[in-house]
Amino acid sequence: MSKLFGTDGIRGVANRYPITPEIAMRLGKAIARTFKATGHGSQRALIGKDTRLSGYMLETALTSGLVSAGMDVFLVGPVPTPAVAQLTSSMNADAGIMLTASHNPYDDNGIKIFDRQGFKLSDALEEEIEAHVLSGALENDHIRSAHLGKAYRIEDARGRYIQYAKGSIGNQSLAGLKLVLDCANGAAYQIGPWIFRELGAEVIKAFAEPDGYNINNGCGALHPEAVAQLVRRHGADLGVALDGDADRVIFCDADGRVVDGDRVLAMCALDFKARGHLVHDTLVVTSMSNMGLHEAMRRHGIQVVTTDVGDRCVIERMRSGGFNLGGEKSGHIIFMDYATTGDGLISALQVLRLMKVRQRSLAELAACIEEYPQRMVSLPVPVRKPLEEMPRTAELVEACRAELGENGRVIVRYSGTEPKLRILVEARDAATAEGWVERITAAARGEAVA
């Protein structure tokens, strides 16, 4: 067996290593052993999942492993990833486990683990759990029947999270706003519509009929064109497109124009600063955020801290610096005052609250930044060949950097969750960005795919 954890938990094709029932059962035992060893825990774990068919398989196997090692298990069913994080903390569990492959197709699945505070596990804890799984030494013969754990189905888990999410905007009335909510046939298909309806908004729900196979299929945050079309058809004020586990969100305005994470971060940072609510007047973003965002924040006296790609990197920097707002262009927005991870529903509530309070359209709010033209290609690759072994690609990347100087940038990196090479070029004019992306992609296709 090889390494389990990647940049965002464990992920792969369902029923193939490492996403198998055998590994899931061993993982349950390993989680129990790791957290029981602390000696001060509740000996409880909480398990949620998205709507993939393989979730049943993994949920059952994980539960068996956990209870066989003496841990009780709270089963909360299909809920968003941030709900698992919040419920883990509020229900005093040692660990929260979310079964999801996020924005990936239904055939994939994954396992994300949170600590008792609702944060993703540290590298040290992941390594300890992984070592237990890979060692093969996880027998529980010493645990007799009287000391086995129990499994409980928590029927009101969704209601608990709905109340919590609404409280993040103080139950502000959203009456008068009309939105199309694309649930990606995923984890928020039940919770999402109720949150906005209970606050008075008119909700047109879309892609909220999961069948185990259709999660993220032509819908959700990766396909905002779907919700944009529905917004125009229904004359809605905005569209809200979640991904499969609802930890990220992409918007579109009333005209169907996409409003990504950078624009949401900018409008919320400006609002927070105006209200004296932006801690240290600082926003945390990743290296993928548009240069236009940086320029807009400088104009308003807001410092921007940049991290490596990944919401985990953003959260770690926010925690170390005590910051309360950060996120990614891809739609992971972290409101640390209310959530310990990216939360698509709380992000949408913040945007709707801002529209309501300011009496401005999403398009007007999103105009706070002027983005540089940006072009990105995701190139499927059979293996992650080191970039230094791709001389023509490296040569073109350096030539691009030299030409752009301070008027643009180029980033070439492997995805942390998919077998893809990301190639991004940003420049002051679209033709330059497009030209360089085409040249670098052609070279990479010849060197990385060959």
To 10 degrees, what angle do helices 81-90 and 344-358 make? 100
Residue carrying structure tokens 């586990």:
245
Whether 66 contacts 149, CB under 8 Å: yes
SS3 state of residue 322: coil
Q: Where are the alpha helices (DSSP H) in 37-156?
A: 54-68, 81-90, 123-135
- For the chain, what percentages of helix, strand and coil (3-state, to nearest 5) are there? 40, 20, 40
Within 13 A of 179's CA, how many CA atoms are on the CB side? 34
| Paired residues of 412 in beta bridges | 423
d(CA 307, CA 245) in angstroms, rounded, equals: 23
d(CA 100, CA 109) in angstroms, rounded, equals: 5
- Indicate which residue of 64, 102, 168, 289 is catalytic: 102
Distances from the Cα of 54 to the Cαs of 107, 151, 164, 213, in angstroms? Answer: 8, 19, 28, 10
Specify the length of the chain in residues. Answer: 450
d(CA 250, CA 266) in angstroms, rounded, equals: 14
Amino acid at 439: R
Would you call 135 a catalytic residue per the annotation?
no
Phi, then psi, of 327 in degrees rounded to 5: 165, -165
Pairing of strands 238-242, 202-206: unpaired
Token pair belonging to 121: 């596990």
- Cβ partners under 8 Å of residue 105, min gap 6: 215, 216, 217
List, by residue number, the catalytic residues.
102
